[in-house]
Structure 1
Amino acid sequence: MVVLRTGPVTVGGVSLDNHLLLAAGVLGTTGASLSRMLATGAGGVVTKSIGPAPKDGHAGPCVALLDCGILNAMGLPNPSREFTGELETLKNRPVIVSIFGGNPEEFAEVAGWFKGLAAGIEMNLSCPHAEGYGAAIGVDPVLVEKCTRAASALGMPTWVKLTPNVTDITAIGKAAERGGATAIVAINTVKAMRISTGLRRPVLGNRYGGLSGDAIFPVAVRCVYELYEACSLPIIGCGGVSTADNVIEMMMAGAQAVEIGSAVQRDIHIFESIKRDLYAKKGADPKEIVGCAHG
């Protein structure tokens, strides 16, 4: 397997300790949990998505563990502006705040709460199970461009997380680029569902949810590959990454860094494990690996 040379990493205007980030929605609800992930080897962390008003989320069941991954429909539960207090002890650390809104004004408002507190923002334009938010906006290139422009105008590093639940993800990536994004994150969960044959009803309270984990890794690789050829922005790969070889594959497709989420559920020390296999003093220059699978 290819191994990488150790060294500083900067992606989309954010300085990271290494190429591995905690994905949004996984152990990102408190300052303590974010600190724990940084201490166990994550090069950066992305928080749970924060919106313009507190939300309780969907009625349960909200999570189903599958053989191929995790199905969830949390519904974007969050404390809204009160979350700023969780970041007081994390100043000057590589913390990216995931934000959502229903229009450009709400995105700008929420982003403004975290200016000076976080290293950057990640716009959630891709959650597949929150009515009026996430993918409801992220499937429309015009809205993506407007929302991105409103948030990026604050001058913070602005990452835009894209949904795979579209006909052409490159059209959405180009819209984020026009709006002033500094990086693209690909991808969020794939819209999916399961039905309990015993209960004769969907396993999730919301019926539909987002599938993450091993099953969507090939989808994520394909999306990163397409975006690399269509856009000039840095790309952060996300979706089913669980090994060092997965990281290399994502980078060969065009990612400059990767986010890891569902794999943390299986192994809380996943970042340490991947780092041991991924890095060596005489490893390859990461710049030579990113996008090398493109002819």
Structure 2
Amino acid sequence: MDLSVKIGALRLRNPILAASGTFGYGLEFAHLVDLNRLGGLVTKGLSREPIEGAPAPRLCETPSGMLNAVGLQNVGVRAFVAEKLPELRKLDTAVIANVFGYTLEDYVEVLRVLEDAEGLAGYELNISCPNVKRGGMQFGSDPALVAEVVGAARRAALRRPLWVKLSPLVTNIGLIARAAEEAGADALTVANTYPAMAIDFRTGKSRLGSKTGGLSGPAIKPITLRLVWETRKATKTPILGLGGIETVEDVLDYLVVGASAVQVGTASFADPRVSERLVDTITKVLFDTKAFTLNEIRAKFLSENG
């Protein structure tokens, strides 16, 4: 069965990608996973300068999920290009660089550096960061801000596709999706983690080194499925679903509500090979449901329910 999918102009081997923030730069998993079997991998977020990240502990389990407060630790875009990208170039899979910043200039500079490098298939813009020049408002929380940052990124990223990773903390994700689409996004990743807390009542302190973290895992899947559905109704831009994916059934749920592909995140902490296992089993599950192509199930919920 042909499992390949098109995300704009980019064709992926299959619809299973490793998500940013849970798979390092990809190289850390190369001894455990055949990375070339994945549809692609999205690197951890890259910033203009190196970031040390948040204090430990950075992870804690919650019912049906996990909280993380890594603080976007990364080596910085220049060190990534010099130290990580040469090895990533050797892979026969799509490598997408996740990019973030705290000002428009940050995003543009990171993309400028990456544009001069070889070996990437595209970029994913994390717009859940606070805009320090606008009082800390998230770039992704307002359609005008989304249009501004995506437009600036689009003008800087001329060589490769630009995906935009949306924040779930919005009242109308359709408006945000359309703003990103009109500003030049080639695809939309739906969605980022949900701000949350975990407290130890005995000490009265956070179970993380930070006061809050991002909630991910199975707990958020029903919410994110709705966001993917609402995004699909609002825009024709390809969608990558992200949130609580552990099984092939989870993958297919996202495709049925309108995603073209998915990203696997938190499940990789429990089983680093989960993405590869999903690739192994998706064909069998499709045959069992009498579907012989991915197109037979994609957006089926919309076609049957509107």
Q: Which residue of 2 aligns with 1:59?
A: 55
Q: Is the 8 A contact 1:158 1:181 kept in 2?
A: yes
| Alignment partners' CA distance in 2, 1:15 and 1:288 | 18
Q: Is the 8 A contact 1:23 1:261 kept in 2?
A: yes
Shift of residue 35, structure 1, vs aligned partner: 7.9
Cα deviation 1:196-239 (Å, max 9, x = unaligned):
01211121222111000010000110000000000110000000
Cα deviation 1:6-31 (Å, max 9, x = unaligned):
34322133222211000001122363
| Alignment partners' CA distance in 1, 2:249 and 2:264 | 13
Shift of residue 49, structure 1, vs aligned partner: 0.2
User: Which structure 2 residues correspond to residues 1-295 of structure 1 after superposition, within 5 A?
Assistant: 5-29=1-25, 31-33=27-29, 37-39=33-35, 41-80=37-76, 81-85=78-82, 86-91=84-89, 93-115=93-115, 116-126=118-128, 132=132, 136-153=138-155, 154-155=157-158, 156-280=160-284, 283-294=291-302, 295=305
Mean Cα deviation higher: 21-30 or 220-229: 21-30
Q: Is the 8 A contact 1:192 1:208 kept in 2?
A: yes
Three-state SS of the structure 2 residue aligned to 1:279 is helix
- In structure 2, relative to structure 1, the CA distance for the partners of 1:131 and 1:142 (3 Å cut) is closer
Q: Point out where structure 2 has 5 or more consecutive residues left out of the alignment.
A: none
Q: Is the 8 A contact 2:69 2:212 kept in 1?
A: yes
Cα deviation 1:80-111 (Å, max 9, x = unaligned):
12111301122263000000012322212111
| Alignment partners' CA distance in 1, 2:223 and 2:255 | 14
- In structure 2, relative to structure 1, the CA distance for the partners of 1:278 and 1:157 (3 Å cut) is same
Three-state SS of the structure 1 residue aligned to 2:124 is strand
- In structure 2, relative to structure 1, the CA distance for the partners of 1:35 and 1:166 (3 Å cut) is farther
Q: Under a length normalisation based on structure 2, what TM-score does the superposition of the two structures give?
A: 0.88
For 2:119, the aligned partner's letter is L
- In structure 2, relative to structure 1, the CA distance for the partners of 1:97 and 1:35 (3 Å cut) is farther
Q: Point out where structure 1 has 5 or more consecutive residues left out of the alignment.
A: none
- In structure 2, relative to structure 1, the CA distance for the partners of 1:114 and 1:227 (3 Å cut) is same
Cα deviation 1:160-203 (Å, max 9, x = unaligned):
00111111111111111111000000011011101101211121
| Alignment partners' CA distance in 2, 1:208 and 1:132 | 19
Q: Under a length normalisation based on structure 1, what TM-score does the superposition of the two structures give?
A: 0.91
Report the identity percentage.
35
| Alignment partners' CA distance in 2, 1:49 and 1:135 | 19
| Alignment partners' CA distance in 1, 2:38 and 2:105 | 32
Q: Is the 8 A contact 1:20 1:260 kept in 2?
A: yes
Shift of residue 287, structure 1, vs aligned partner: 1.9
Mean Cα deviation higher: 207-216 or 139-148: 139-148
| Alignment partners' CA distance in 2, 1:293 and 1:147 | 32
Instruction: Say how many residue pairs are matched.
Output: 289
| Alignment partners' CA distance in 2, 1:159 and 1:107 | 13
| Alignment partners' CA distance in 1, 2:28 and 2:70 | 21
Three-state SS of the structure 2 residue aligned to 1:121 is strand
